[in-house]
Amino acid sequence: MLTHDQALSLLQAAREESTTVGVPMSFAVMDPGGHLVALVRMDGAPWISAEVAQGKAWTAAAYGAPSAAQKAKMDPLPNFASALTAMTHGRFTPQPGAVPIYSDGQLLGALGASGGTGQQDEDVCAAAVAACGYSVS
């Protein structure tokens, strides 16, 4: 499981990468059980982005895979996706923008972002995870 200091390092790396991209974002770090460890909303990021980042991170942590994988899986099943979202009290967010965090093959949690395009969000998260010495698989 990630420590709070490790989560803060991930948020800092994500903020730096987001600044490089030129898009203010919100970032959420979840533990493997989908519990929030740390959250930040950059100046200028959309107000709703903090909630969306948490949903994406929850989804990546729940499945141990990028949240984009759930989007691809749910695209032909919109009613099922809506049902899962309702059953998880809005946490299931099958959209690109979050990646799992692995170390030595063990799932430590997930990092989610919102504020850019889904691809920008996911790219920033993947870069932050790598910068901190973790992997996404």
Is there a domain that residue 65 lies in?
yes
Question: Do 38 and 62 form a contact (C-beta atoms < 8 A)?
Answer: no
**Strand, coil or helix: 40:** strand
Return the structure tokens found at 30. 């979840």
Question: What pLDDT was estimated at residue 1?
Answer: 84
Is there a domain that residue 137 lies in?
no
Helix count (H) and strand count (E) of the chain?
Answer: 5, 4
Total domains in the fold of the chain: 1
Is there a domain that residue 59 lies in?
yes
CATH number for the domain harbouring residue 15: 3.30.450.150
Is there a domain that residue 39 lies in?
yes
Over residues 14-33, the pLDDT tens digits come to 999 999 999 999 999 999 99
Residue 122: domain span: 4-131
Over residues 88-105, the pLDDT tens digits come to 999 999 999 999 999 999
Is there a domain that residue 124 lies in?
yes
Q: Provide the percentage of residues in the chain whose pLDDT is more than 70.
A: 100
Is there a domain that residue 17 lies in?
yes
Nearest to residue 71, comparing CAs of 85, 86, 50? 85
pLDDT at 107 over 90: yes
Band of pLDDT at residue 121, cut at 50, 70 and 90: very high
Q: Give the pLDDT mean for 35-43.
A: 98
Average pLDDT, the chain: 97
Band of pLDDT at residue 116, cut at 50, 70 and 90: very high
Q: Is the pTM of this model over 0.85?
A: yes
Is there a domain that residue 125 lies in?
yes
Is there a domain that residue 136 lies in?
no
- 46: exposed, middle or buried (Cβ count in 10 Å: 0-12, 13-18, 19+): middle
